[in-house]
Each structure stands twice: as structure tokens, then as C-alpha cells.
Amino acid sequence: MIPPKPAARAEKVSLWRYMRLFRQDILSAQPAKLYRAWMAEFRTPFFRSYLVNQPELLRTVLNERPMDFPKSDRVGEGLRPLLGNSVFLTNGAQWQRQRRIIDPAFEGGRLRDTFPAMKAAGEAAVARLRDRQGVVEIEEEASHAAADVIFRTLFSIPIEAPIAAEVFHQFRAYQRTQPILNLAAFVPVPRWMPRFHRRKTRATAQAIRRLITQLTQERMWQIEADTAPDDLATKIMTTEDPETGQTFDTQEMVDQVAIFFLAGHETSASALGWALYLLAMFPEAQERVAAEAAAAGDIDFSDLSKLRFTRDVFRETLRLYPPVPMMVRETTCPERFRDRDLPLGSQIVLSPWHLHRHARLWDNPDAFDPDRYATENGKTCLRDAYIPFSSGARVCTGAGFAMVEGPLLLALLARAFRFERIEGEEPVPVAYLTVRARDGIRLRVTER
């Protein structure tokens, strides 16, 4: 069986038709040939876009010369009402300063410190599902669990806390109204043209930021009174930039918390939902995960190394359904890629969605095979063609966090329940803020 994949466009279409397809779904709008191409050019009257799949070119952009290829403002424009000037959107010196303050909070030792909060959120998710057995919309449950992890690790409060619950409610309203990749990355939307964000998108973004501001201000008062818990928010808000000695002010911290919630909740929820669907689709893999989790016992931080197959299941899920399907960089000077001249200001589209399923790189690229990472092809592709968290200097700060959280939640849930597909309800992947199922993922859940 092949896991769900949107049908790619085979025929050539006009620019107008392409814009209409893109508005429906970025994944199915792309031509099938991109799953084999090393590079493809999209021409518009205003600028050029180049989708790059060749590993050597990816290394140039992400690893060797990242400062020469900053994030494109064409992407940031769509997300700025929520994220402001967060580390996800900034470039240059501002981005470097933000990373110097944020990165220490996600170092290895801090992951061990946050593990009890992650585990508590996982156990709470198991308890909720015990009361909701039967047919369950699993993306909603995954979102609830991932949001709980973020609030417990960031602010030491569970999702049931009133302000946390309200942020979660508002974010659910925001999630399906704003795509993570703006149409302007591919088609002619001049820079001078206003960005007409949907009224509901603006309103929910403002509501989320008001709530985050309240949380941030309360934490600052706790820090001043020396009563703040030792969690991620406290660590980030008290860390000084080693070059300037400055810390984040309230507004800067609101921007960062907004991206932590987006990156740490939305992406994790996407991956967990698809992982549970894949386990339902492949019962033998599900039983291996459940048995591995049972053998690990209570699962402390030191037990994570015992969850090898579970980690590979989560890793394979991120390959097939990378939460952020495409990223866009911009040239700051003329470049030459594969005998093509790229003008200044060209958009370079890096697509984990296509790279992870590339027919010239991966063996059996559309298949679900967690054991592939023990093969030579799997090891090579893991190094050269696997970027669910990006790579290089701009690799996701929370990548290590996610690779602890994902396998842990998957192990706890698979050990407690059996997940079964519902005949005739195959989910269709589409790109909202992250790769989600168009109509959700419904599974039959029964306690073991």
C-alpha cells in the first residue's frame, strides 16, 4: 500500500490557471516532473522562481552560504500579522542576535529538563483518549497534545489553564485560514501591492498576540519577583545576548513565543497526526511500536534510546509528510545554478515535499518504510536529501525538541491504544499552515 499523496499536475497550464490551482492547494498545483527534476524554473512578468532539488545546490544555499540567501519577504508577508519580527522571519544581524539568545534554551541539557513536562502532556493525551474511544478525529487530538506540550514546557501551565485554552481555541481558528507559503513566492504579486489578509486571519492573529502578551508580561513580573518557574520562557527571557548584554523586551518576546507556538505546536501536531494514520495503515509497524514502548517501561529521558523503531517511524513520517512542505530563499546577487543565470532577487524554492519523494534519490520514495534508514540508500539520503527542519545555520531551533517529543507521544499512544483506518475515509494531504488532511483524519481508537 502507498500512503496518501495528492495527484500531481501532469499537463501544462496557463499562469492564470496555475494561480487558481495554487489557491486550492500548493501540493497538487505542482507538476509531476518536479519529483524527478534537479531544478525547475517558474517565470513570471515580475520575477523568477527556481525550485531546487539537487543536493549540491541545497548545500550551497543552506549550509555553505546561508547569509547570501536570506528568507524571502514574500513568504513573511503572509505570516507577519501573527509572527511579527520573530526569528522565523528575520534575516541578517537581527536574526543572528535572536538566535544567540534563543539557542541556549534548546541545548541538550535543557531537553532533559523539559522531558517531565512533555511526558505529562503525553499522559494527559492518553487519559483524554480513554474517554473518547471509538471514531476519533485524530488531527484534533494531536493538536491538543502538541499544544499541551508547548504550554507545559514554555510556561509551566497545562492546556486546561484558561489562557492556554483560549490561545489554543484562537489558533484553531487561525490555522486553516493562512497558508505558510504565500502565493507571491511563485506568481506575480508586485511588492507595491497591499497584502489583503483575510479579516478573520487578522482578527485571530491579534487575539493570539494579546493573549501571549498577557502571558509574557506576567512572566516578566515573576522574574522580577524571583518567583518564576525554571522553564523555557524564563530561560529565554533571562538570557543575555553575549555580544550586547541585552535581553528580549516584551514585544520581542511576544514575537518569539508566537513562533514557538506555531513551530512547536502546529508542526508537531501535523507530524503526530500523520504518524498515527500511518500506524493505522500498517498494523505490523504499529505492533512493533507498541511492543517497543511496552519494553521501555516507564520511559524516562534515558529510555529514549530504546525507542529506535518508534524514532524511525516518526522520521519516516517527517519524510512523507514534512510539516513545512516548502521554504523560500532569495538571491542577494546574481548566481549561476546548473548552467542557468539567476538574477538578483530571484526566489529559490526549497521543497522538502519533493526532495523527500525524489525518484532519483530515494529507493521506493512513496512507500512507508521505517527500516529504510538502516540501508545504504537510506543513510545517504538522510544526509543529503532530508530536511524536515531545514539545515545549516537556519536549522529549526527546536529540531532536537521535536525528535524527543514526537517519538515519546507516539510511543505512549501506541502502547495504550490500537488505531484502525475507517474504510472509505482516506485523508488527502493539503498545505495549510502545515501539511494537514483536507477533511481531517478519522481513526477508530480502542484501548489495548
Could you tell me whether strands 442-447 and 417-421 are parallel, antiparallel, or unpaired per DSSP bridges? Answer: antiparallel
> 237 near 247, Cβ under 8 Å?
yes
For every residue of 37-101, DSSP letters joined together read: -SEEEEE-SS-EEEEE--HHHHHIIIII-GGGSPBPHHHHHHHHHHHTT-TTT--HHHHHHHHHH
Quote the strand ranges of 117-263, DSSP E: 134-137
In-domain check, residue 255: yes
Separation of alpha carbons 150 and 323, rounded Å: 17
In-domain check, residue 178: yes
Separation of alpha carbons 281 and 289, rounded Å: 13
Helix, strand or coil, per DSSP, at residue 245 = coil
Give the Cβ contact number of residue 230 at 10 Å: 11
**Identity at 110, one-letter amino acid code:** R
Beta bridge partners of 221: none
pLDDT for the residue numbered 44: 64
From 391, 353, 403, select the one nearest 59 (Cα to Cα). 391
Beta bridge partners of 40: 51
**Model pTM score:** 0.92
Number of domains in the chain: 1
pLDDT for the residue numbered 12: 57
Q: What would the pLDDT profile of 310-350 be if each residue is shown by its tens digit?
A: 999 999 999 999 999 989 899 999 999 999 999 998 889 99
Mean pLDDT, each 10-residue run in order, the chain (448 residues): 79 52 65 91 74 96 96 74 87 93 86 94 96 93 95 94 90 68 50 52 86 93 94 94 92 90 86 98 98 95 95 98 92 94 91 96 97 97 96 92 96 98 92 86 96
pLDDT for the residue numbered 242: 93
Separation of alpha carbons 61 and 44, rounded Å: 22
In-domain check, residue 144: yes
Q: Which residues contact 41 (CB under 8 A, 6 or more apart)?
A: 48, 49, 50, 340
In-domain check, residue 246: yes
In-domain check, residue 442: yes
Separation of alpha carbons 32 and 310, rounded Å: 31
> 247 near 241, Cβ under 8 Å?
yes
pLDDT for the residue numbered 192: 45
pLDDT for the residue numbered 181: 52
Domain that holds residue 79: 15-343+354-447
The CATH number assigned to the domain holding 158 equals 1.10.630.10
> For the stretch 359-372, what's the b/e string if a residue is b when 16 or more beta carbons lie within 10 angstroms of its beta carbon?
eebbeebeebbbeb
Separation of alpha carbons 332 and 128, rounded Å: 50
In-domain check, residue 119: yes
pLDDT for the residue numbered 31: 82
> 48 near 75, Cβ under 8 Å?
no
pLDDT for the residue numbered 30: 76
Locate 439 and state its grid cell.
Answer: 477533511
In-domain check, residue 10: no
pLDDT for the residue numbered 194: 44
In-domain check, residue 263: yes
Q: What would the pLDDT profile of 71-111 be if each residue is shown by its tens digit?
A: 987 666 677 888 888 988 899 999 999 999 999 988 877 88
